[in-house]
Amino acid sequence: MKILVTGGTGYIGSHTCVELLNEGYEVVIIDNLYNSKIETVDYIEKITGKKVKFYKDDCCDKEALRKIFKENKIDAVIHFAGYKAVGESVKLPLNYYHNNLGSAIILCEVMKEFNCKNIIFSSSATVYGNSKRVPFKETYKLSTTNPYGTTKMFIERILTDLHISDEDWNVVLLRYFNPIGAHPSGLIGEDPNGIPNNLMPYVVKVATGELECLSIFGNDYPTKDGTGVRDYIHVVDLAVGHVKALEKIQKDNGLFIYNLGTGEGYSVLDIVNTFERVNKVKVNHKFAPRRKGDIATCLADPSKAEKELNFKATRTLEEMCRDAYNYAVKNR
């Protein structure tokens, strides 16, 4: 099978390309390199010993997409491409609606034109909004607190409507929890520009000395140590989840929604302490006020993916911390 991976040179996309190639799928990538580097294509090929076809194009460009579908018989699409910074989305909502909704709609139009009706979409735990009932189940009512989250909720709705309009569309909506870590080779990983917004990239930059001190946002949450609790999943496990989702739509037709997480919650202090212990480095930190919009605990109920996809994340927090640091050290 030939899979089109949009955003395939990005953080999660690149790891998914590796797992797809390892499983014998052919991979075609479209990425405009807005938030990734062309070298990633070489690294994917180096890790797997297999070739990928790369198009430097924008998913909002219908003609470019048509050309890709003309030149390749695409069987399924995994749609990662999009903007993902929550804070930026509050400041630049139109950019987020334009890029995230625009690319999804145009992509589906072209897929329909070429009779390719299998799509896996990168959604997020953010669609559970401020829900306090943890762990989150796929059946919970959705809500969002920022434009980024709203684009995820809208795209889920668009793909659901597409499936309702024509049951030949097979759709898998994957709601990721907190992906961290990197490929153990140290060749691909997460390397955000500027000052990171997310916890793990920030921790890494403090450990390598690029940033001085981690601010821990809040130590008065109703959690075991007062700091925020999240469901961190190793990015390689997350990538494997996509292969499982592809297997699912080869067996069964329909619309499927799955959480991809571990079901285990770790606090900010757990992350800092484990990172220090595993990597034998110091992570300077101080307590700071809560970050606006944060919730105390965000945790997946991963049982549906385990039952229906036979997917279970197996990599430990120690491996997540080790691999994240290994990638940073190799790529400084």
Binding region for ligand UDP (CB under 6 A)? 178, 197-199, 202, 214-217, 228, 230, 268, 291, 294, 298
Q: Which does 103 bind (CB under 5 to 8 A by kind): ligand NAD, ligand UDP, none?
A: ligand NAD
User: Within 10 A of 147 (CB to CB), how many other CB atoms are there?
Assistant: 21
Smallest gap from Cβ 18 to ligand NAD, in A, equals 13
* Tokens encoding 264: 């285990």
Number of amino acids touching ligand NAD (CB under 6 A): 26
Beta strand ranges found along 112-193 (DSSP E) = 118-124, 170-176, 178-180
Using the rule CB under 6 A, is 279 a contact of ligand NAD? no
Q: How far is the CB of 282 from ligand NAD (least distance, A)?
A: 25
CB 148 within 8 A of CB 313: no
- Measured on CA atoms in the order 240, 325, 293, 230, is the torsion positive or negative? positive
Q: What is the DSSP letter of 252?
A: -
Catalytic option among 11, 25, 55, 148: 148
* DSSP structure string for 175-211: EE-EEE---TTSSS----SSS-SSHHHHHHHHHTTSS
Q: Which does 188 bind (CB under 5 to 8 A by kind): ligand UDP, ligand NAD, none?
A: none
Nearer to ligand UDP, 118 or 126 (CB): 126
Closest distance of CB 180 from ligand UDP, Å: 8
Q: Are 325 and 159 in contact (CB under 8 A)?
A: no
Amino acid at 4: L
User: How far is the C-alpha of 112 from the C-alpha of 135, rounded, in Å?
Assistant: 36
Instruction: Say which entry of ligand UDP, ligand NAD, none residue 217 contacts (CB below 5 to 8 A, set by partner kind).
Output: ligand UDP
In terms of Cβ atoms closer than 10 Å to its own Cβ (0-12, 13-18, 19+), residue 227 is buried
**Residue number with CB closer to ligand NAD (56 or 165):** 56
Q: Which stretch binds ligand NAD (CB under 6 A): 4-12, 86-94, 215-223, 248-256?
A: 4-12
Residue closer to ligand UDP, measured from CB, 185 or 197: 197
Q: Which of 12, 21, 214, 249 binds ligand NAD (CB under 6 A)?
A: 12
Smallest distance, ligand NAD to C-beta of residue 309, A: 17
Beta carbons of 315 and 234 less than 8 angstroms apart: yes
| Closest listed residue to residue 42, CA positions, set 18, 24, 25 | 18
Please, what is the minimum distance in Å from the beta carbon of residue 330 to ligand UDP? 22
Q: Report the site for ligand NAD in 24-53 (rule: CB under 6 A).
A: 30-36
Does residue 148 carry a catalytic annotation? yes
**Rounded distance between C-alpha atoms, residue 224 and residue 266, angstroms:** 10
Indicate the SS3 state at residue 291.
coil
Q: How far is the CB of 180 from ligand NAD (least distance, A)?
A: 8
Spell out, one character per residue from 80 to 119, where the chain touches ligand NAD: x when CB under 6 A holds, - when not: xxx-x--------------x---x----------------
Q: Which residues bind ligand NAD (CB under 6 A)?
A: 7, 9-13, 30-36, 58-60, 80-82, 84, 99, 103, 122, 124, 176, 179
- For the annotated catalytic residues, the residue numbers are 148
